Amino acid sequence: MSSSEEFEMEEVQVPQPAQNMPAEEIDPDRTASTLESLNHQNTADDDDDDQDEWEEVDASVQPTTSQQPQPGLQITLDNAAVKRPEKKDSKPRKAGPSPEERAARLASHKIHVIALVANAKHRNKLLNDELLHARMLSLVPMHCQLAFSSLTPSNVPDPIERSRLFDKALKRLLDWWRSSFDIDYNLKTLLTTPYAQTNDELNKKRKAKGTVDDNDQYEVIRSEKSLQKRALQMKGSRDMSAQLFTALCRALNVPARLVTSLQAVPYRVQSQPTNTVVSLDSDDSDTQPPTERFMTWKERQRSGFKGDDEAFIRGEAVSADRAPPQVKLSSHRRRKPKKGSKQDEFDVQSPPIFWTEVFSRPDGRWIVVDPIRSLIRTKARNMMDPQSAYKYNKMTYVVAFEEDGYGKDVTPRYAKQYGTRTVKQRPPSTKSKNGDWWESVAATFQRPYRLARDDVEDAELHQAQFSEPMPQSMQGFKDHPVYVLERHLKREEVVNPPREVGRFKGEVVYPRANVQLLKTSENWLRQGRIVVEGAQPLKRVKQRAVTIGRRRVQEAAAQAGEEEIMQGLYSRPQTELYRAPPVVGGKVPKNKFGNIDLYTPTMLPEGAAHLPQKGVGKIAKKLGVDYGEAVTGFEFRQRRANPVISGIVIDATYKETVMDAFEEWQSQQAEKEHEKMVRDVYKQWQKVVQGLRIRERLKEYRGNDQQPHEEVAGGAVNPGTDATSHQNALPANELQGEIKKYQPGTHEQSLDTITKAQRALPRRNRLFEGREADSEADATDEGGIDQDMEEVGVDNANKNKDTLEIDVPAKVGHPVALDVLIEQQEQEKSASAQKVAHDADTTHVPESRLRMRPSRPKRARHSSSENTSSSRRITRSRVSHNSTREDRKRNDEAVRVALDISDEKEDDASDDVSDDEVAPIEISSDEE
């Protein structure tokens, strides 16, 4: 119950239009952009202008996006602009549909088919409702029920007799159904409409914006209850009659399929005069008295209805014959000869789109039952396939759903001209899109396993295609699955052997099965096959000149007055598997281009090995091993075919030698690469450290000026420690901004930056891009640094060591020891200490921090910064007080250059630092 309410897909009449509407439907009012909106959007669009300027924009399909104007340019699209220019001189010829419309039509068709399949599947499921079965059984006369239930092998041992009795019982049931079920012909059924008409209706509905309530024209089934209601009333549409009859059969324990002919919008446009396009909700049906509109056929008969049949015809209200089939139906058909074309009209006995298949257990086969027209057939061709003139009922796909929910494509059983017409109404399968579309859809509802009766049925369905009469028209032969005419053979096809199975208008008809696909000898080689010696081509065709080389040859031949170059085509049986000449004495046989054709693995010469690794050729050369480059395919560029070379082919005996050498070479390469990377790492570290030193010096130089503010700004420093710190507090905000702007962060953050940057290391010059959005959290989070360390490969054991090993997670996973770097720094430090003794403790690299940081909790850092504050102030005092803001900026610039930080990157970095984390760089040289 609840599941059925979730799945409401009922009476799908038309699909939603595809996204790409036909170009003609663009509303000019929407696409015209005003100057005002142009100015308004200018600023927002400026950034994109540079790159967007020359981008190709398909203005025809996206009217809304074209509202974004380019500066200084106003584009107004209207119908005239998107319509194809027409030829002036010759008589106006309507151009074919645009690619968008083609795509839209195809999509509409496919979506509609899928929706109808889903609808049928769902409705089929509803028919299994036990309450529905019970209610229906309560209506069926007892003798009908007994007729089926008594048909057991024990009661009737003779299978022929059982079969006869089954047919009889079925006929009686059908008779009862015809006399009891009241078909309301006014209700719309799931018939199709031509594409243009569907589109018209959709547009109408769109304009009306849902005010049109046509529910009364449809038979809305929301759940099993709706079906139960109609079953008790014994009243409904033609479709309902078939559906309920199917349910009834199931209730009587007779296996029954719900069969439906899917009436999807055709994806092809049938050429038709516009005046025959009549809307479904056309005016005449509205002008009819309601009493007439809602009369059933029975009532019409009773009231002696002699009115116009047009309304019934239009609304797909088919007046089927409720009298026994032998009654002449033509007396009920009163047609206006001139109104509309004949194809608009309905035969009262036109085939339905829902019917039933009943499985006869005695016969072991499916019997076709049409409960609407009260027909039982074992052979159903000509019974369900409507005349081609009927516009609203086209047999293209017929699916049958069984009680277990699985379905089957049974179209060949019902289509009069399955190969000639029906199959051609389906979307064609193209090579680029994998396989046949409908087959892929049908596969979704087919039973995943097979029953014995499936085999029997499939054989029957397959046979049905061949028992079909030969086409009666030229078009019918085109792409026919069984027959073929010589004129429809493709360039690379031939009938071999040319067995004549008939004649059509003097032309020989061949079986399609004898058509062979041909290829040139070169093409066969690409398949790993070679034309056997002495084979004569089955066909000769003009050579194509696609590449420049071929073109030149052809032109030369033409100039020499020779005949056109032809090439022979061969069939597969004329070829054999290509065997490359074997390797002799370690020498690999090569082709005229000095390489080896290896389009398929079978083309590998005997005794040879294929080494597809890149760069292995170099090794083989070094080792003096004879090799040939393996050509596995071609790429086409600039009218030239370029071989795709993948690896080499060598004598198999050398395989291991070469591979060993190759692997060694590879590891050497890797090592080299790693060494280079390590060098780069040191270089980068050096650069960073130097930059930090410069900055530190600069900060002190600045700090003497406005030292207290910086401390206030830096949350890590206790503001209360120094009495002077509050005296020159005025430009605090400004200073803070400065710091934020130029300072990538505290040491931790710098380290953080660096460690993160390691990840990007092999790509040079990206050292400072590494700051990510999460670093703000890192800065505030107590374990942030440690986490980062872990991220970059510092294992816990290392944290308490004096050296810090950072695993560089690049191509090579060797750890990079920083102690080398630190050693360097210490050397530098002692050197500078000798030079300028009192400068030694000022701004050197925080090597101790680099070493110790991971093991130290954050609080300890705070205390250490307090300890060092006095020494820092001392050094700062040496900086000249005359420095101006401009000076500072210049210096900052220098720092940035030194640090190789672009403005943008630096901003990114500083943005991550929250206000209270903007601390001055800690100088913790006191660790030793």
Partner DNA sequence: TTGATGCAGGTTGCTTTGACTAAT
Partner DNA sequence: CATTAGTCTTTGCAACCTGCATCA
Q: How far is CA 526 from CA 53, 188, 641, 644, 645, in A?
A: 44, 57, 13, 13, 14
Contacts of 812-818 spanning 24+ positions with Cβ under 8 A = 812/670, 812/671, 812/673, 812/674, 812/677, 814/674, 814/678, 816/678, 816/681, 816/758, 818/685, 818/850, 818/851
93 binds DNA (CB under 7 A): yes
3-state helix, strand, coil in the chain (%, to 5): 50, 10, 40
Report, in Å, the least distance between residue 521 CB and DNA: 10
521 binds DNA (CB under 7 A): no
x/- mask, DNA, residues 240-269, rule CB under 7 A, reads: ----------------------------xx
Which is it for strands 407-409 and 397-401: parallel, antiparallel or unpaired? antiparallel
470 binds DNA (CB under 7 A): no
Q: How far is CA 910 from CA 18, 712, 740, 768, 917, in A?
A: 49, 18, 5, 12, 10
Q: Which is nearer to DNA, 211 or 271 (CB)?
A: 271
**Quick one: how far is CA 528 from the chain centroid?**
33
294 binds DNA (CB under 7 A): no
Q: Which is nearer to DNA, 397 or 445 (CB)?
A: 397
Give helix 732-742 / helix 655-713 axis angle, nearest 10°.
170
Q: Which two tokens stand for residue 15?
A: 């699909």
Region 343-372 residues binding DNA, contact defined as CB under 7 A: none
Binding range to DNA, per CB under 7 A, among 300-308, 636-644, 822-830, 832-840:
636-644
597 binds DNA (CB under 7 A): yes
- Give the span between the Cα atoms of 602 and 744, in whole angstroms: 61
Q: Which is nearer to DNA, 328 or 487 (CB)?
A: 487
Report, in Å, the least distance between residue 160 CB and DNA: 42
If phi > 0 it is left, if psi is from -120 to 50 it is alpha, else beta; for residue 236 that is left
Please list, in sequence order, all residues whose beta carbon lies within 8 angstroms of the beta carbon of residue 281, skipping any fewer than 6 positions away.
201, 204, 212, 214, 217
Q: Which two tokens stand for residue 568?
A: 């022979």
Q: Which two tokens stand for residue 564?
A: 């056109």
x/- mask, DNA, residues 371-390, rule CB under 7 A, reads: -----------------xx-
Binding range to DNA, per CB under 7 A, among 242-250, 372-380, 471-479, 788-796:
471-479
878 binds DNA (CB under 7 A): no
Report, in Å, the least distance between residue 542 CB and DNA: 6
618 binds DNA (CB under 7 A): yes
Q: Which is nearer to DNA, 51 or 271 (CB)?
A: 271
323 binds DNA (CB under 7 A): no
Q: Which of 2, 47, 54, 94 binds DNA (CB under 7 A)?
A: 94
SS3 644: strand
Among the listed residues 691, 727, 734, the one whose alpha carbon sits nearest the alpha carbon of residue 707? 727
Report, in Å, the least distance between residue 764 CB and DNA: 11
607 binds DNA (CB under 7 A): no
Q: Which of 302, 339, 379, 542 binds DNA (CB under 7 A)?
A: 542
643 binds DNA (CB under 7 A): yes
SS3 569: strand
Q: Which is nearer to DNA, 335 or 726 (CB)?
A: 335
Q: Which of 42, 70, 276, 341 binds DNA (CB under 7 A)?
A: 341
Size of interface with DNA, in residues (CB under 7 A): 60
Q: Which of 102, 125, 332, 829 binds DNA (CB under 7 A)?
A: 102
Report, in Å, the least distance between residue 271 CB and DNA: 4
Report, in Å, the least distance between residue 280 CB and DNA: 21
Report, in Å, the least distance between residue 811 CB and DNA: 14
338 binds DNA (CB under 7 A): no
432 binds DNA (CB under 7 A): yes
Expressed in angstroms, the distance from the first to the final Cα of the chain is: 79
Residue type, 688: V
- Give the span between the Cα atoms of 883 and 891, in whole angstroms: 10
Q: Which is nearer to DNA, 84 or 889 (CB)?
A: 84
Q: Which is nearer to DNA, 638 or 834 (CB)?
A: 638
556 binds DNA (CB under 7 A): no
96 binds DNA (CB under 7 A): yes
Give yes or no for a contact between 413 and 404, defined as CB atoms under 8 angstroms apart: no
The residue to which tokens 């290896």 are assigned = 598
Q: Which two tokens stand for residue 430?
A: 């193209």
71 binds DNA (CB under 7 A): no
Report, in Å, the least distance between residue 351 CB and DNA: 17
Give yes or no for a contact between 183 and 295, defined as CB atoms under 8 angstroms apart: no
x/- mask, DNA, residues 490-519, rule CB under 7 A, reads: xx----------------------------
Binding range to DNA, per CB under 7 A, among 207-215, 637-645, 707-715, 829-837:
637-645
335 binds DNA (CB under 7 A): no
Do you find a cis peptide bond into 469, omega within 30 degrees of 0?
Answer: no
Binding range to DNA, per CB under 7 A, among 51-59, 473-481, 903-911, 914-922:
473-481
676 binds DNA (CB under 7 A): no
Q: Count how many residues are written for the chain.
A: 928
- The upper half-sphere exposure of residue 608, i.e. CA atoms within 13 Å in the direction of its Cβ, equals 32
The residue to which tokens 């170009």 are assigned = 23
x/- mask, DNA, residues 138-177, rule CB under 7 A, reads: ----------------------------------------
Report, in Å, the least distance between residue 505 CB and DNA: 7
84 binds DNA (CB under 7 A): yes
Q: Which of 472, 724, 728, 800 binds DNA (CB under 7 A)?
A: 472
Q: Which of 579, 639, 679, 885 binds DNA (CB under 7 A)?
A: 639
859 binds DNA (CB under 7 A): no
Give yes or no for a contact between 634 and 641, defined as CB atoms under 8 angstroms apart: yes
704 binds DNA (CB under 7 A): no
**Quick one: how far is CA 756 from the chain centroid?**
36
Q: Which is nearer to DNA, 96 or 581 (CB)?
A: 96
Binding range to DNA, per CB under 7 A, among 86-94, 441-449, 823-831, 858-866:
86-94
83 binds DNA (CB under 7 A): no
Q: Which two tokens stand for residue 918?
A: 């903007």
Q: Which of 522, 533, 886, 928 binds DNA (CB under 7 A)?
A: 522
544 binds DNA (CB under 7 A): yes
Give yes or no for a contact between 356 and 245, defined as CB atoms under 8 angstroms apart: yes
Helix/strand/coil (H/E/C) assignment for every residue in 167-183: HHHHHHHHHHHHHHCEE
Q: How far is CA 99 from CA 61, 102, 103, 170, in A?
A: 11, 5, 6, 51
669 binds DNA (CB under 7 A): no
- The upper half-sphere exposure of residue 591, i.e. CA atoms within 13 Å in the direction of its Cβ, equals 14
Binding range to DNA, per CB under 7 A, among 154-162, 208-216, 364-372, 588-596:
588-596
- Give the span between the Cα atoms of 819 and 189, in whole angstroms: 84
Give helix 99-126 / helix 437-445 axis angle, nearest 10°.
20
SS3 408: strand
Q: Which of 621, 676, 679, 811 binds DNA (CB under 7 A)?
A: 621
Contact positions toward DNA, by CB under 7 A? Answer: 84, 87, 91, 93-97, 99, 102, 268-271, 341-342, 388-389, 428, 430-432, 472-476, 479, 490-491, 520, 522-523, 526, 541-542, 544-547, 549-550, 591, 593, 595, 597, 615, 618, 621, 631, 633-634, 636-643
